[in-house]
Amino acid sequence: MTMRTIDRMKAGFRSFKAAYYDQRPERVAHLVESGQEPEVLLIACSDSRADPAILMNAEPGDMFIVRNVANLIPPYQPDDQYHGTSAALEYGVRDLKVRDVVILGHSGCGGIQALVQGAIGGVTAPDREFIGPWMEIASCCSGHGPDVDAVSRQSVRNSLTNLLTFPFVKSGVESGYLQIHGWWFDMKEGALWRYVEENDRFEKVEG
């Protein structure tokens, strides 16, 4: 009988503890005593196949990570609604003072797929309560369909634009303290792409 994922997770935690608490206790002690000082804030999709810590071979303390459906940055909209992504962005940039913000898109994104289907059929995920309104953030990108991956890359560009509507991001970029990056993971090819503003296109970084 194969072991269920939930049980493998417990064994996984034992491996993690051995790798850090047993083999690198000074690293753990530093993170506990000094608090976190990540240089990078990364926004990734919730997709189980695109875990940024695994993809980037990151360590505890490296990245302040926000994951949501389709790695979207909403526009700056200070009101009485619940803004989880904007709150994380605010904390990461204003309090943790990260130096880089990375938006990491990926191929075969289910959220973008729903958006593209909605553009064809009229409404995104009509029988769901939250996905449709959330994906509205990227609705301007659906015209780049029906190629889901093309819409996904366009959505990364749209999120970069939305990032700059946050005053604290804009001022950070203008002062040169903060850099923003649009990355895209091609799962099939095992390649990483980045958006190059000067050329207005994605160029391959690795893979």
Considering the complex, what minimum distance in angstroms separates the CB of residue 148 from Zn ion? 10
Annotated binding residue at 47?
yes
Q: 181: annotated binding-site residue?
A: no
CA 70 to chain centre: 8
Pick 41 or 70: Cβ nearer Zn ion: 70
Pick the closest to residue 110 from 68, 75, 70 (CA basis): 70
Which spans of this chain sit near Zn ion (rule: CB under 5 A)?
Answer: 45, 47, 109
Q: Least separation, in Å, of the C-beta of 58 and Zn ion? A: 19
Closest to Zn ion by CB, 93 or 115: 115
Q: Is 30 annotated as a binding residue?
A: no
Contact present, 69 and 129 (Cβ < 8 Å): no
Q: Exposure pattern of 130-142 as b/e (b: 16+ CB <10 Å)? A: ebbebbebbeebb
For the chain, list the strands marked E by DSSP.
40-45, 63-68, 100-106, 179-186, 191-196, 201-206
Least separation, in Å, of the C-beta of 90 and Zn ion? 23
Element (H, E) at 34: helix 25-34
Matching residue, tokens 């994922």: 5
H-type helices in 56-192, by residue range? 84-90, 110-121, 131-135, 148-163, 167-175
Is 140 among the annotated ligand-binding positions? no
Nearer to Zn ion, 86 or 113 (CB): 113
Instruction: Name every residue whose Cβ is closer than 8 Å to that of residue 13 and which is 6 or more positions away in sequence.
Output: none
CB of 145 to Zn ion, least distance (A): 15
Query: Considering beta carbons, is residue 112 or 178 the nearer one to Zn ion?
Result: 112
CB-nearer residue toward Zn ion: 50 or 169:
50
Binding residues for Zn(2+): 45, 47, 106, 109
